[in-house]
């Protein structure tokens, strides 16, 4: 993410302190996990069984 923002700081921009790779900032960050879990819970309530996989929302595939 530091390359995209042209910054010397390669830490997660959410402030968790981890290395800010695209996958981390999008999916693995402990600060964004509650969001994805609530999205998947909502989809499950709609009776849509979708695997908990970062490729699905990132690439819009399923």
Count helices and strands in the chain by DSSP H and E runs:
4, 0
The confidence score (pLDDT) of residue 41 equals 92
pTM of the model: 0.66
Q: Where are the domains of the chain?
A: 22-59
CB atoms within 10 A of CB 12: 20
Residue 4: the pLDDT is 58
pLDDT tens profile 2-16: 455 666 778 888 888
Cross-strand pairs, 19: 11
Residue 46 has what pLDDT?
A: 94
d(CA 6, CA 62) in angstroms, rounded, equals: 33
pLDDT digits (tens, 9 = 90+) for 2-55: 455 666 778 888 888 888 888 898 889 999 999 999 998 999 999 988 888 888
DSSP 21-47: -HHIIIII-TTTHHHHHHHHHHHHHTT
């Amino acid at each position: 993410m530091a390359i995209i923002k042209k910054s010397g700081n390669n830490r997660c921009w959410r402030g968790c302190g981890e290395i800010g790779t695209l996958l981390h900032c999008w999916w693995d960050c402990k600060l964004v996990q509650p969001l994805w879990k609530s999205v998947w819970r909502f989809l499950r309530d709609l009776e849509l069984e979708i695997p908990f996989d970062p490729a699905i929302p990132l690439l819009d595939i399923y």
